[in-house]
Amino acid sequence: QTVQVRPHAVAAVLRNITFTKERYDSFIDLQEKLHQNICRKRALVAIGTHDLDTMSGPFTFTAKAPSKIKFKPLNQTQEYTASQIMDLYRTDSHLRHYLHLIENKPLYPVIYDSNGVVLSMPPIINGDHTKINLNTRNVFVECTGTDITKAKIVLDIIVTMFSEYCEKPFSVEAVEVVYPNGKTHIYPELAYRKEKVKPEVINKKIGISETPSSLAKLLTRMCLKSHVIGNGNNIEIEIPPTRADIIHACDIIEDAAIAYGYNNIQMTVPKTYTIANQLPLNKLTELLRLDLAAAGFTEALTFALCSQEDIADKLGMDISATKAVHIANPKTAEFQVARTTLLPGLLKTIAANRKMPLPLKLFEISDIVVKDP
């Protein structure tokens, strides 16, 4: 049932974790930062964290009609149906931005425990029954979404960052996900992978001349465990699950440059012919701008497109007498033609600033468009 809304789900457990006020705030803040960035405002992935001691497995991720989903949302005092929850948060300054992700779907995604308790209705809100607090000792982390790769990355980031605070540091309890077709998968994957990059490629791209062993040390400083292999003609880099941003060899080269220090890279003239001068017309207009600004004028930057009336009727001219270039399919009446003069834009600017104190000293130096004679 979830295929049409949020087909993927991954999960993990952090056992015997100890929260302080700072750790707890950081835990919540991390989820919000992930939601806004890699999760693309929950469109790709939604994160849910729950107090494992308040519920019992196994957990079921399914989709139901809004009228058949009823639970008490996080920090609320009564139960609501899914439809009522959508109405409730329509004016919420934070959650209203996510309602469009599922509100037009016939079925809403929902996660239940074995007793029928609702854990969450992703990507909108968690249930109040399983909310975590400073006294929570066991945290169940679930990520649902439309992109399985992003879901796995997000889960890896959360557990690697906060498993440090478990009773046994850096230990994570795996969760088995059973799919409708009977297939199973264990999460989190916490997969390491290896890449090979030639030292000469790194040196050439950055513009340095470090030895292979020196480059390997630089990369190791960036949490990319590296060592020289073969006859020194390759560097093997182990990419941990905490570095999901390493996608290509160019990302490894960038990390080497950061570790080396951009300010330590010797500046050189490129071997290709790239030295040029400013075009005479651009130089002239730039000088004009500087002089006019020094004389107390303010530069206006107006649209290159305008309406037919702006360059004809309002200036006492017939549109056929102008050499205007017309837009074949204008989206609005304000953008029908390319301007043949800068006057309409300046006059509109003055009209929009009538309440400003006089004098209004404006100028504009820009392109106009006219047909060839």
CA–CA gap between residue 73 and residue 83 (Å, rounded): 12
- Whether 342 maps to a domain, the answer reads yes
Q: What is the DSSP string of 146-184?
A: S-HHHHHHHHHHHHHHHGGGBSSTT--EEEEEE-TTS-E
List the beta bridge partners of residue 112.
60, 118
Asked if residues 167 and 16 have their Cβ atoms less than 8 Å apart, the reply is yes
**Residue 44 sits in a domain of what CATH number?**
3.50.40.10
CA–CA gap between residue 46 and residue 40 (Å, rounded): 9
- Whether 368 maps to a domain, the answer reads no
- What pLDDT is stored for residue 234 in this prediction? 92
- Whether 269 maps to a domain, the answer reads no
- What pLDDT is stored for residue 186 in this prediction? 95
Residue 94 has pLDDT above 90, yes or no: no
- What pLDDT is stored for residue 231 in this prediction? 85
Residue 274 has pLDDT above 80, yes or no: no
State whether 180 and 240 are in the same domain: no
State whether 93 and 182 are in the same domain: yes
- What pLDDT is stored for residue 321 in this prediction? 82
In this prediction, residue 361 has a pLDDT band, given cuts at 50, 70 and 90, of very high
- What pLDDT is stored for residue 158 in this prediction? 94
CA–CA gap between residue 180 and residue 249 (Å, rounded): 38
Average pLDDT over residues 264-273: 84
Amino acid at 252: I
State whether 167 and 300 are in the same domain: no
User: What is the domain extent for residue 55?
Assistant: 8-187
**Residue 225 sits in a domain of what CATH number?**
3.30.56.10
- What pLDDT is stored for residue 273 in this prediction? 77
Say if pTM beats, i.e. exceeds, 0.75.
Answer: no
In this prediction, residue 280 has a pLDDT band, given cuts at 50, 70 and 90, of very high
In this prediction, residue 232 has a pLDDT band, given cuts at 50, 70 and 90, of confident
Residue 101 has pLDDT above 80, yes or no: yes
| Domain final residue, candidates 156, 187, 218 | 187
Total of domains in the chain:
3
